[in-house]
């Protein structure tokens, strides 16, 4: 059965509940790993969880600075690096931005479905895509260490809006 978080980005849902679930899992994961969700790291994750959109480091810095966390770029980059390194966020390379991981602590191979119109990002399961990529690489003697699967298109809401 698909995880409801995989489809929520493109559907009406109780976003406060969605974000709250992910934050609770992130807090439990941080405690389990013995890492600290400092106030700036926690706030950065909360900002990422405000919507199913990716946010750039500069925009994150502006938000954090407005809330008194400092205005130097390392403030945002260190918080975002921590979140990515600990599986609490993903970098969406196409947008040069970051999005909250909807499955913190779970081994998964996501594909990012990016709406080219509204920039909504959905984290979709892509284990079969990753397996095919690994097989193709192995056939060439290549060992993949990291991949980022992204697809650009239109979300259901934007498909119904005339261009």
User: What pLDDT digit, counting tens, does each position of 36-86 carry?
Assistant: 999 999 999 999 999 878 999 999 999 999 999 988 989 999 999 999 999
What's the number of domains the chain is made of?
Answer: 1
**Residue 137: is its pLDDT beyond 50?**
yes
The CATH number assigned to the domain holding 65 equals: 1.10.10.10
User: What pLDDT digit, counting tens, does each position of 115-134 carry?
Assistant: 999 888 988 888 899 999 99
Range of the domain at 111: 5-159
Residue 25's pLDDT is 92
The answer to pTM > 0.75 is yes
What is the SS3 assignment for the chain?
A: CCCCHHHHCCCCCCHHHHHHHHHHHHHHHHHHHCCCCCHHHHHHHHHHCCCCECECHHHHHHHHHHCCCCCCHHHHHHHHHHHHHCCCEEEEHHHCEEEECCCCCCCCCEEEEEECCCCEEEEEECHHHHHHHHHHHHHCCCCCCCCCEEEEECCHHHHCCCC
């Amino acid at each position: 059965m698909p995880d409801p978080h995989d489809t929520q980005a493109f559907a009406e849902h109780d976003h406060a509940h969605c974000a709250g679930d992910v934050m609770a899992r992130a807090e439990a994961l941080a405690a389990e790993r013995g890492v600290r969700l400092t106030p700036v790291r926690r706030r950065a994750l909360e900002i990422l969880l405000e919507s199913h959109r990716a946010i750039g480091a500069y925009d994150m810095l502006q938000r954090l600075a407005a809330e008194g966390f400092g205005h130097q770029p390392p403030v945002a980059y260190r918080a975002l690096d921590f979140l990515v390194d600990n599986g609490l966020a993903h970098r969406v390379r196409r947008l040069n931005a970051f999005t909250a991981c909807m499955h913190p602590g779970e081994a998964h191979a996501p594909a990012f479905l990016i709406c080219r119109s509204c920039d909504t990002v959905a984290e979709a399961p892509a284990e079969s895509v990753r397996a095919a990529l690994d097989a193709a690489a192995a056939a060439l003697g290549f060992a993949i260490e990291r991949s980022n699967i992204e697809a650009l298109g239109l979300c259901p809401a934007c498909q119904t809006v005339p261009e």
